[in-house]
Structure 1
Amino acid sequence: MKVLIIGPLKEPITGVSVSNDLIQKKLNTDFINTSLPFFEENVGRFSLNKIFLNISFYLRSHKILRTDILYVTPGQSFFGVVKYLPYILLGKILKKQIVLHLHGNALLKTYSLLRGFKKNIFEYTLKKCSKGIVLSKSLKKNLIPFLLPENIFSISNFVESKFVLSHEELEDKPKNELNILYLSNLMTEKGIFVFLKAISNLRSKGVDYKCKLGGDIDDSIRDKVLKEIEKDESMEYMGVVRNKEKRALLKWGKVFVFPSIQTEGLPISILEAMGAGNHVISTRQDALLDLFSEHQISYVNKQSPEEISNLIISNSFDDCRVFENHSLISEKFTETEFVNQILNVFKKN
């Protein structure tokens, strides 16, 4: 069984690229890397530069001839989906199995807002796929208009083993230090300005804390974000963190905040934070609500910096849940479990 991954790999680092990198490594697959060599805030924005880059990617379509399965990980915007149509059409003509893996929860909304030709070509692209994978049961709704229900599978994300702390490391984490962590791309839609406002609230109330932020920043908001961070001596921007540096940051943290104001899938960063013994504060997302109770994650409303800062000030986190969440991640959200489930989908008739 030969598999060809068609989607973003390596950098810029996203949940999709991390997932694709793991599958490529574990299954030793060939791939067509559709990553763009730059990071930007509006990932679904159309540009001529993107058109020319994607045309260059199409030149690698000959790889489809030598594979059995096309594993496609598209975006959720109109362009993010239809740019995969040439690969999917060629795969269909050559009678390949085409497995689409959706890493998000906004596809149905995109589809509902389209009209005329754009809606038809969007639907046509997705209906040519053989099977679909989503991140949790509630997210199956995104593929129901395009695939038969029995061909839609739910597979949760995973945590790379190198980021999961040992029980000894968990015990050694400082208990009395308020270390606040933001570890995601610093984007408006990811709630970076909501987070900065919440930290500002803590500062104005005299709370003793330290805060570190890791992730890429789009050039269009870089100056504004860095200016806010520089106002606070207790805040530090770490840049894009990887491997040992990222592990150390996760180990350092006590409270992990994910204030995204957009519709998300199942953020790998939240799973990583739980595996490293952090209390998690997050906006409500369908996949998270499918998998984790309010005892496991402290949920807040979107655009609610006051809720975030009040939760941190109240310090009402149950330390027992740190160990319970760590055990859950260690047992059920592993790389091996993820890859095995992907393989099971490939093998299903």
Structure 2
Amino acid sequence: MSKVLLFGPLTPPLTGQAVAFTIVANSLPEQKKILIDTSKYKNPIINTFYSVFKVLFSFAFYKFSNIYFTSSRSKLGFIKDFLLLIMGLWFKKKIINHLHGADFKKFYGESIFLKPLISYAYKGVNTSIVLLNIMKNQYDDFPKMKKVVVGNCYNQELEECKNDFSKNNYQILFLSNLMYGKGIIDFLDACFVLLGNNEEIKIKIAGKLMGDTFMRQKNIEKLFKEKYNQLRGVYGERVEYLGIVKGYEKSKVLFESSIFVLPSFYPTEAYPISIIEAMRAGNAIVTTNHNYLPYIVKEKNGVIISPKSPNEIYSSVEKLINNLGQLKKIQRHNIKEAKHKYSQDRYISDIQQIILS
């Protein structure tokens, strides 16, 4: 039986791309896969050397017909991808690319010196998997490439929990990597007003503090702690930072919440798995008119707001809480939609059909 070479990041880190790739990797039995973890080490340079070595080793000593990889959109990341792609092209392998970000077209267009290499390497890609139909435009410069749509999925663990709509729930959740571009500071600013205007509201925050292109890690850590401590000083246990949550703890906080807020303006934001998980857990969604987010969250799913607007976060959440009938209608709809469109079984089946054929 022919194997498939899997090339991408395993968790940790807990990024959407790593989570999605790990689901695919774990779904295949050992006899069907050769696995290269491109995030095995914390140092990105060491990761690059490791990935290059593993690619050369795999082509020298393993037999496989297909390659499945998650494309990088950075110069250092492309170095890893480039060797894989040209080896696949020269050895006439079927290459399947999976895009999890909103910035390949920008990366390609702005890579003046790398552009010829990117163009040559991606000529060997037979199929690119994108998350939404509109994301096919990320590969407009590669007209011969087949583009296939497969949406993200929620974790299978969420199937084990149940919702209780018999009680009114005023818990608001922010669950994501805590980066400036994800809107965590805007959310905290909105929390001052939300908690002050409604004594029943509780706030839960979960995720790892991380730097991004807007703010370095030490700076976001300092700013987050300042605002969080101010909130705790005034509102006590009504606001709680849980740190990184996994497994049952993550499912529990998702199902205990009724409104999920992700006011992201993160440059590469595409199709956050956190939104899908929040929908499956019965949360109304408040997110931003940014990149592809409005194609995921419609009026029936929650509210779309402007990026960088604490006032709109506050007013949207308040509007939902003040109309509990409409809130519960949205919550029930999101559970139904998530089960229908975003199950892990559906995701695995769709991906395997592409990468194993």
Q: Which amino acid is the alignment partner of residue 197 of structure 1?
A: D
Where does residue 313 of structure 1 map in the other structure? 318
Q: Which of 149, 174, 182 in structure 2 is aligned with 1:182? A: 174
* Cα distance in 2 between the residues matched to 1:271 and 1:135: 12
Q: TM-score, normalised by structure 2?
A: 0.87
**Structure 1, residues 230-249: CA drift from partner, whole Å, max 9, x if none?**
22222211111110110111
Where does residue 146 of structure 1 map in the other structure? 142
Partner of 1:231, secondary structure, is helix
Where does residue 60 of structure 1 map in the other structure? 54
**Structure 1, residues 32-53: CA drift from partner, whole Å, max 9, x if none?**
1011644xxxxxxxxxx52233
CA positional deviation for 1:213: 1.1
* Cα distance in 1 between the residues matched to 2:356 and 2:64: 14
Alpha-carbon contact 2:172-2:203 (below 8 Å) kept: yes
What is the number of residues matched between the two proteins? 333
* Cα distance in 2 between the residues matched to 1:307 and 1:174: 28
Are residues 82 and 143 of structure 1, via their aligned partners in 2, closer, same or farther at CA, if it must alter by over 3 Å? farther
Are residues 146 and 160 of structure 1, via their aligned partners in 2, closer, same or farther at CA, if it must alter by over 3 Å? same
CA positional deviation for 1:291: 4.2
Where does residue 16 of structure 1 map in the other structure? 17
Are residues 204 and 291 of structure 1, via their aligned partners in 2, closer, same or farther at CA, if it must alter by over 3 Å? closer
Partner of 1:241, secondary structure, is coil
Alpha-carbon contact 1:256-1:280 (below 8 Å) kept: yes
Kindly, what percent of the aligned residue pairs are identical? 28
**Structure 1, residues 98-138: CA drift from partner, whole Å, max 9, x if none?**
111000111112223332x1222233333332210100001
Partner of 1:57, secondary structure, is helix
Where does residue 214 of structure 2 map in the other structure? none
* Cα distance in 2 between the residues matched to 1:241 and 1:147: 42
Where does residue 198 of structure 1 map in the other structure? 190
Are residues 122 and 196 of structure 1, via their aligned partners in 2, closer, same or farther at CA, if it must alter by over 3 Å? farther
Map 1:226-241 onto structure 2 (within 5 A). 226-232=225-231, 233=236, 234-241=238-245
CA RMSD of aligned residues (A): 2.1
Partner of 1:318, secondary structure, is helix
* Cα distance in 1 between the residues matched to 2:199 and 2:108: 45
Pick which of 85-94 and 281-290 moved more: 281-290
Question: Given the alignment of the two structures, is residue 244 of structure 1 paired with residue 248 of structure 2, yes or no?
Answer: yes
Are residues 274 and 206 of structure 1, via their aligned partners in 2, closer, same or farther at CA, if it must alter by over 3 Å? closer
Question: Given the alignment of the two structures, is residue 159 of structure 1 paired with residue 154 of structure 2, yes or no?
Answer: yes
Are residues 165 and 306 of structure 1, via their aligned partners in 2, closer, same or farther at CA, if it must alter by over 3 Å? farther
Alpha-carbon contact 1:139-1:286 (below 8 Å) kept: no
* Cα distance in 2 between the residues matched to 1:230 and 1:66: 56
* Cα distance in 2 between the residues matched to 1:202 and 1:250: 19
Q: Which of 196, 203, 206 in structure 2 is aligned with 1:214? A: 206
* Cα distance in 1 between the residues matched to 2:318 and 2:81: 47
Q: TM-score, normalised by structure 1?
A: 0.88
Partner of 1:265, secondary structure, is coil
Map 1:113-128 onto structure 2 (within 5 A). 113-115=110-112, 117-128=113-124
Are residues 15 and 236 of structure 1, via their aligned partners in 2, closer, same or farther at CA, if it must alter by over 3 Å? same
Partner of 1:123, secondary structure, is helix
Question: Given the alignment of the two structures, is residue 130 of structure 1 paired with residue 126 of structure 2, yes or no?
Answer: yes
Pick which of 4-13 and 312-321 moved more: 312-321
Is there any run of 5+ residues in structure 1 with no aligned partner, and where?
A: 39-48
**Structure 1, residues 270-296: CA drift from partner, whole Å, max 9, x if none?**
000000011110112454433442121
Are residues 327 and 206 of structure 1, via their aligned partners in 2, closer, same or farther at CA, if it must alter by over 3 Å? closer
Where does residue 93 of structure 1 map in the other structure? 90
Alpha-carbon contact 1:127-1:147 (below 8 Å) kept: no
Map 1:72-87 onto structure 2 (within 5 A). 72-87=69-84
CA positional deviation for 1:182: 0.7
Alpha-carbon contact 2:41-2:47 (below 8 Å) kept: no
CA positional deviation for 1:11: 0.3
* Cα distance in 2 between the residues matched to 1:51 and 1:231: 39
* Cα distance in 1 between the residues matched to 2:5 and 2:250: 29
Are residues 206 and 254 of structure 1, via their aligned partners in 2, closer, same or farther at CA, if it must alter by over 3 Å? closer
* Cα distance in 2 between the residues matched to 1:37 and 1:241: 22
Partner of 1:83, secondary structure, is helix
**Structure 1, residues 130-181: CA drift from partner, whole Å, max 9, x if none?**
21010000111001212525x0111100112212465xx22x2564331110
Alpha-carbon contact 1:132-1:147 (below 8 Å) kept: no
Map 1:243-282 onto structure 2 (within 5 A). 243-263=247-267, 264-282=269-287
Pick which of 301-310 and 28-37 moved more: 28-37
